[in-house]
Amino acid sequence: MACQPVAMQQEAWYLKSLQTAMRYEVSGDTLRIYFDNGTPFLTFVKKVIST
């Protein structure tokens, strides 16, 4: 089963971006991925979902 073209393009961009990351930083519940210019380009924050 294939996704919508827009979702597939976004996935391709995301995976390519991860390959070009220069460094990463974990601080508490936050992960920042940095690229060539030193600014955080991807930021992930842990979210707890109660069930």
In the chain, what percentage of residues exceed pLDDT 70?
A: 96
**Mean per-residue pLDDT for 40-45?**
85
- Structural tokens at position 3: 């996704």
The reported pTM is 0.65
Q: How far apart are CA 29 and CA 25, in angstroms?
A: 11
What pLDDT was estimated at residue 27? 95
End-to-end CA distance of the chain: 30
Q: How far apart are CA 10 and CA 21, in angstroms?
A: 17
Domain boundaries, the chain: 5-45
DSSP string, 9-25: HHHHHHHHHHHT--EEE
pLDDT in tens, 5-22: 899 998 998 888 888 889
